[in-house]
Amino acid sequence: MSSRDRILGRVRRALADVTPDERPYGEAVPRDHLRVHGERTPEQTVELLAENLADYRAVVHRADAEGLPLLVMRLLAERGAREVLVPSGLPTRWTAAADVARIHDRAEHTPQRLDRVDSVVTGCAVAIAETGTIVLDGSSDQGRRRISLVPDHHICVVRVPGQVVSSVPEALERLDPARPLTWISGPSATSDIELDRVEGVHGPRTLEVILLS
Amino acid sequence: MSGTFVGMPAFPEAARAAVHNATLRGNLRHATHTIRAKRARAVAELDDWPALREAGRRIKDHTLRHLDRYLEQLEESVTAAGGTVHWAADAEEANRIVADLVKATGESEVVKVKSMATQEIGLNEALLAEGIHAYETDLAELIVQLGKDRPSHILVPAIHRNRGEIRDVFRSEMGAWGRPAPEDLTDTPAELAEAARLHLREKFLRARVGISGANFMVAETGTLVVVESEGNGRMCLTLPETLISVVGIEKIVPTWRDLEVFLQTLPRSSTAERMNPYTSMWTGTTDEDGPRAFHLVLLDNGRTDALADQVGRQALRCIRCSACLNVCPVYERAGGHAYGSVYPGPIGAILSPQLRGTASEIDASLPYASSLCGACYEVCPVAIDIPEVLVHLRERVVEGGPAVRQGNKVVLKPARGHAAERAAMRAARWAFAHPGTLRAGQRLASRTRRLHPRTLPGPGRAWSGTRDLPAVPAEPFRDWWQRTRAGRDGAE
Ligand code: SF4
């Protein structure tokens, strides 16, 4: 007998006392929890996102389409970045003003090569106000998962209010599970040493979020 | 489970040794109290917390009730998305599968992200026996691995180590494993984290094989979810060419939408955050992004035995948030190691005896490692009635009765007059009792729950019939220690 059959057989015997619940799933598992916590205008939702991002030590900036290239230039210059990773579908305007070498996100880059890059600029798929989370889904303005992981400095552009939702339930509804997803809430952190929160272990130690309106 | 802890003294002896270690006690007290208060604040932010908890309980119960169906559905979705599914009935089989998969890649080292399941099966030791080095990459796991130590907390495995001890371990051990710690390393957490970052980075960048567990698996889509803080999980899940995930069969949720419940309750219950820094979700493989090969090893290893127990099966709802550890007065004083298992604290006290059976002294004594105060049930985000299961397992230890072991129906002998009973009774005295309260003859009364047993079940009834069970006093253990502390450092 294969282990598959053995395990499934054990499960079925273990559940011999249980009558199956044949109602549709939604009925069998009622959900009385809220879809959103609190009532807010779209502007207030963006405000809450900014607050919660900052609470977990992401650095929050605001810009309009015109100001964005200059802001990106300034942030990269302040960081002293010389090389910047850019996903293939990132609007070229976003980094147009910056005086840096653009390294394009390519399959053939080794992790060691990515490790020498200073910064990365990406868009995002959705941002969640209640938790201060940005979610990347590997679309062409976000690139492969590793490019927002290996460099130590991540600039993420969120289009507001269009890409902002209030809550986790709303975010899941917008996301496609078939894509590789990365949920980011503040920079990498650990509390493993006496439960003291320290920012920055393996992921980018600086996360800057630009709210683009 | 693995043999890692074989030969552990039973809970009361191990706990007694631990409470005499002043450093351990100080570290644990500081850590559990800090996180307890933070958790309460994070939970209070959501006014629908009881509804989320109830939804979590129902989703998990429904899944367990139809586990066969959801396992088959999951296998289908993972396979359709480009993954390969393996089934492991026990630890040995799971270790065999993983070792063979690693060998097939030609690699002799792997990077690992913290996973309870792989600790439970003793994967690192099994791989080492085949010449494969497994590097733990979670900061706490690294501290434990370098210190040749054992984890003592589900979420913060090195909770028993303070910063000075960690610095010493890094200084003396890192060099033997790879990049050494800087000569002038101090004990500030930021510097320690930096040393770990540099030490592990060279391993991540060259890793060809990653090994993980998973917090959730979605049957309908085949998606796996790993919730973490440091980014080591993302490294292990995306940089290697081959990814092997070893996951207990109870980690399934039926639908994508179900994640909306657990992604709200898990971070707040575990690290007391609105959301943890990183959550990775992947479905099979993705062209040119992340591993080219993905293997999912579905692990039974006693879970179906627990599923056969009508009272005990609720333990399989556990999402390993560790909230129950942080509120447990027994855990706070005894520490994680006393539980003799990778699953410490209240959840360990009900899970280990079900996964491993109660044949050994430590497992027979675990259901007694509690004062039944009910705080664990109150905080549990999936409403596992841990006290109810504890009482049930105590009955099983002393009265015996039908059970399922490795898929076979067995009738357990009552432990009366056996070593297990003696261990159990010693543990009962240790955990409940406090000689003063016993003499005072107060009744067992929970400050937090209305439903609780007045007497011990089974033969315990005779025992409790002659002595009223003690109340849970405000600071029972502290008083007790002050009176009984021998002033020696008995631990490790
Ligand atoms: S038993 Fe409940 S509180 Fe304890 S770790 Fe599991 S889910 Fe968390």
> What pLDDT score was predicted for residue B162?
82
Alpha-carbon distance of B266 to B382, in angstroms, equals 10
Residue with tokens 């979020």: A209
Which value does ipTM take for this structure? 0.96
Q: What is the DSSP code string of B131-146?
A: T-EEEE-SHHHHHHHH
Neighbours of B163 (CB within 10 A): 17
Sign (positive or negative) of CA dihedral A20, A24, A30, A31? positive
A19 domain-assigned: no
Alpha-carbon distance of A31 to B216, in angstroms, equals 19
Beta-strand relationship, B242-248 and A189-190: unpaired
Sign (positive or negative) of CA dihedral B126, B127, B131, B134? negative
Residue with tokens 């209030």: A166
Question: Which stretch of DSSP H or E encloses residue A101?
Answer: strand A101-104
pLDDT tens-digit profile of B362-405? 788 888 888 888 999 999 999 999 999 999 998 888 888 888 98
Tell me the nearest-neighbour CA distance from A68 into chain B, angstroms: 26
Alpha-carbon distance of B176 to B183, in angstroms, equals 14
A96 domain-assigned: yes
Atom of ligand 1 nearest to the CA of B345: 4
CA distances from B9 to B205, B341, B363, B392 (A): 41, 11, 10, 23
> What pLDDT score was predicted for residue B418?
52
A103 domain-assigned: yes
Residue with tokens 């397992």: B393
Alpha-carbon distance of B83 to B102, in angstroms, equals 16
> What pLDDT score was predicted for residue B492?
28
Mean pLDDT of the B398-426 span: 75
- Smallest Cβ distance to A192: which of B46, B156, B255? B156
* Structural domains counted in chain A: 1
A111 domain-assigned: yes
Alpha-carbon distance of A136 to A181, in angstroms, equals 6
Tell me the nearest-neighbour CA distance from A55 into chain B, angstroms: 10
What tokens were used for B346?
């209240």
pLDDT higher than 70, residue B450: no
Residue B67: closest CA among chain A residues belongs to which residue?
Answer: A11
Which amino acid appears at position B474 of this protein?
Answer: A
Dihedral class, residue B272 (left if φ above 0, else alpha if ψ from -120 to 50, else beta)? left
> What pLDDT score was predicted for residue B59?
97
Name the least confident of A91-105, B54-68, B322-336: B322-336
Residue with tokens 């940089």: B239
Dihedral class, residue B146 (left if φ above 0, else alpha if ψ from -120 to 50, else beta)? alpha
* CATH code for residues B46-301: 3.40.50.10420
Judging contacts by C-beta atoms under 8 Å, the chain A residues touching residue B88 are: 3
Per-residue confidence at A7, pLDDT binned at 50, 70, 90? very high
What CATH number corresponds to the domain at position A87?
3.40.50.10420
- For B299, phi then psi, to 5°, come to -110, 130
A-interface mutation test, from B69, B234, B270, B354, most A Cβ less than 10 A away: B234
The CA-CA-CA angle for residues B37, B38, B44, to 5°, reads 90
**Of residues B485, B471, B385, B467, the one with CA closest to residue B425:** B467
Residue ranges of the domains in chain B? 46-301, 437-490
Asked if the C-beta of B177 comes within 8 angstroms of chain A's C-beta atoms, the answer is: no
Tell me the CA end-to-end span of chain A in Å, nearest whole number.
Answer: 61
CA distances from A18 to A3, A12, B61 (A): 23, 10, 11
Domain of residue A89 covers 42-212
A65 domain-assigned: yes
Alpha-carbon distance of B295 to B99, in angstroms, equals 12
Residues contacting ligand 1 via CB (< 6 Å): B 269, 318-324, 347, 379-382, 384
The upper half-sphere exposure of residue A208, i.e. CA atoms within 13 Å in the direction of its Cβ, equals 21
**Of residues B269, B396, B272, the one with CA closest to residue B324:** B269
A116 domain-assigned: yes
CA dihedral angle for residue B327, residue B332, residue B336, residue B337, rounded to 10 degrees: -160
Alpha-carbon distance of B458 to B396, in angstroms, equals 9
pLDDT higher than 90, residue B76: yes
Judging contacts by C-beta atoms under 8 Å, the chain A residues touching residue B111 are: none
> What pLDDT score was predicted for residue B439?
29
Residue with tokens 């993983």: B98
Q: What global pTM score does this model have?
A: 0.88
Residue with tokens 């675990």: B366
Per-residue confidence at B465, pLDDT binned at 50, 70, 90? very low
Percent of chain B exceeding pLDDT 70 equals: 79
Per-residue confidence at B440, pLDDT binned at 50, 70, 90? very low
Sign (positive or negative) of CA dihedral A133, A68, A149, B147? negative
Q: Please, which residues 283-342 of chain B have a Cβ atom closer than 8 Å to chain A?
A: 283, 286, 288-290, 298, 300, 304-305, 307-308, 310, 313
Alpha-carbon distance of B450 to B360, in angstroms, equals 33
Per-residue confidence at A151, pLDDT binned at 50, 70, 90? very high
> What pLDDT score was predicted for residue B153?
73
pLDDT tens-digit profile of A86-136? 999 999 999 999 999 999 999 999 999 999 999 999 999 999 999 999 999
**Of residues A90, A132, A123, the one with CA closest to residue A212:** A123
Residue with tokens 């001890």: B165
pLDDT higher than 70, residue B175: yes
A21 domain-assigned: no
Q: Are A46 and A129 within 8 A, CB to CB?
A: yes
Alpha-carbon distance of A200 to A16, in angstroms, equals 50
What residues are paired with A189 via a beta bridge? A199
Alpha-carbon distance of B64 to B484, in angstroms, equals 45
A203 domain-assigned: yes
